[in-house]
Amino acid sequence: MTIERVHAAREVAGELGVDLLVLTPGSDLRYLCGYNAHAMERLTTLAVPQRGEPFLVVPRLEAPMVDASPAGALGLELLAWDETDDPFALLARTATARLGAEPTRVGVGARTWAEHALGVQRALPGSALELAGPVVDRLRMVKSAAEIEELAIAGAAIDRVHARMGEWLRVGRTEAEVGADIDAAIRAEGHVGVDFTIVGSGPNGASPHHELSGRTVEAGDLVVVDIGGETATGYRSDCTRTYVVGGSAGADVAEWYAVLKEAQRAATAAVRPGATAESIDAAARAVIDQAGWGEHFIHRTGHGIGLDTHEAPYIVAGNDVPLVPGMAFSVEPGIYLAGRCGARIEDIVVCTDDGVRTLNDGPRELVELPG
Ligand code: ZN
Ligand code: ZN
């Protein structure tokens, strides 16, 4: 970790006319300075003014945690506040002194708590607050080689969990029981935390974000398993496979599943520098539309991934951002038949200098598991 990312953020903010960045605990803060702070009511923030040195405002009781984190080695000035101090006034006073005037435009993180954003606004009444997203996303969207390797490690870890699915996903067990075993395996296979566990069996598979329920898996069920976690470095995994348990899926399912598989393949194959995010979505959608299943593909094709599971670039109609080498995102078309079942195939892919690299390897066929 170096101070380089903080300086790069200041430079992009300058280009966009943002006088001051205020980033609270979350992935933006961790990305820029390596401090994986926990969000709470006490204000912790990295402030990056256009002039003068960037600084951290932290509760005094947590100053040792900053020092112990990678941020401690960056030489960032640390302004510690005591329990009865007003941290917003400290932030406003320091930033205004460095800028020589109250800032005009202040960029705050998209996931900054409202009580913090409103506190900043009260302390800087002459400033207009806006989202810092256009500044930090421009940096975070394009991953370094080291970040891609972290995502590859996360991808291989979640692939190992999917490869073991037959140990847990069986007829007669509830989604919740299966999910508990998957959660343990996500941690055992190289993650420090579980982000989400979706086990959508039978009709529940038609609800893309269904998580877990008490429903018992029945013979012949299609089961959508979409799982992901966080590795020690903060990078995320996210991979979906669809299984058929204790029976065969039938000819009608095989027919539309083949369409889905071709859509996922076509969208992945379309990834290359210069292609737009929306063209990847269109590549998946065209296959499903042409086969007559378009009304059942009810979500965008994918999302960027890094220190957050969902981040820019979003692979959706209307996003004409051109892909550049280093962008990492999911390709995850699905077909959902309300009341019956659903299927989704999801890989994380990376745009490379001449095409695409896929970070998940498991079979994309409908995986048949014995009951
Ligand atoms: Zn997913
Ligand atoms: Zn996803």
CA 122–ligand 2 middle distance (angstroms): 37
pLDDT in the model for residue 347? 98
How far is 90 from 67, CA to CA, in rounded Å?
20
**3-state SS record for the chain:** CCCHHHHHHHHHHHHHCCCEEEECCCHHHHHHHCCCCCCCCCCCEEEEECCCCCEEEEEHHHHHHHHHCHHHHCCCEEEEECCCCCHHHHHHHHHHHHHCCCCCEEEECCCCCHHHHHHHHHHCCCCEEEECHHHHHHHHCECCHHHHHHHHHHHHHHHHHHHCHHHCCCCCCEHHHHHHHHHHHHHHCCCCEEEEEEEEEHHHHHCCCCCCCCCECCCCEEEEEEEEEECCCCCECCEEEEEEECCCCCHHHHHHHHHHHHHHHHHHHCCCCCCEHHHHHHHHHHHHHHCCCHHHCCCCCEEECCCCCCEEEEECCCCCCECCCCEEEEECCEEEECCCEEEECEEEEEECCCCEEECCCCCCCCEEECC
C-alpha 297 – ligand 2 centre gap (Å): 14
Domains 4-140 and 145-369 share a fold: no
CA of 154 to the centre of ligand 1 (A): 13
How far does the centroid of ligand 2 lie from the alpha carbon of residue 347, in Å?
Answer: 8
Q: What local confidence, expressed as pLDDT, does residue 352 receive?
A: 98
Q: What is the pTM of this model?
A: 0.96
Ligand 2 centroid – CA 326 distance (Å): 18
Q: What share of the chain has pLDDT > 70, as a percent?
A: 100
- Tell me the CA–centroid distance for residue 129 and ligand 1, in Å: 32
Q: Is domain 145-369 classified as CATH 3.90.230.10?
A: yes
Domain edges within the chain: 4-140, 145-369
Cα 304 to ligand 1 centroid, rounded to whole Å: 11
Q: Report CA(227)–ligand 1 centroid distance (Å).
A: 6
Q: What is the distance in A from the centroid of ligand 1 to the CA of 124?
A: 40
CA of 156 to the centre of ligand 1 (A): 15
What separation in angstroms does the CA of 113 have from each of 14, 26, 198, 210? 24, 10, 27, 26
- The closest ligand to the CA of 241 turns out to be 1
- Ligand 1 center–CA 37 separation, angstroms: 25
- Identify which ligand lies nearest to the alpha carbon of 315: 2
Check pLDDT > 90 for residue 322. yes
Q: Which ligand is nearest to the CA of 301?
A: 2
Ligand with an atom nearest the CA of residue 309: 2
Per the DSSP assignment, residues forming a β-bridge with 239 are 227
Q: Kindly tell me if the per-residue pLDDT of 18 is higher than 90.
A: yes
- Tell me, in angstroms, the distance from the centre of ligand 2 to residue 332's CA: 7
**137 CA distance to ligand 1 centroid (A)?**
21
Contact 191, 237 (CB under 8 A): yes
Query: pLDDT tens digits for 112-141?
Result: 999 999 999 999 999 999 999 999 999 999
pLDDT at 341: 97
Instruction: Tell how far the Cα of 86 is from the centroid of ligand 2, in angstroms.
Output: 40
Note the ligand closest to the C-alpha atom of 300. 2
Angle at 189 between CA 369 and CA 65, to 5 degrees: 150
Output the average pLDDT for the chain: 97
- Ligand 2 center to 348 CA (angstroms): 8
Q: Would you place residue 6 in the very low, low, confident or very high pLDDT band (cuts 50, 70, 90)?
A: very high
pLDDT for position 60: 98
Give pLDDT tens digits for 181-195: 999 999 999 999 999
What pLDDT score does 1 carry?
83
CATH number of 4-140: 3.40.350.10
Residue 267 has pLDDT above 90, yes or no: yes
Q: How far apart are CA 13 and CA 210, in angstroms?
A: 39
Q: What is the Å distance from ligand 1's center to 198 Cα?
A: 8
**CB atoms < 10 A from the CB of 128, how many?**
11
| pLDDT at position 371 over 90 | no
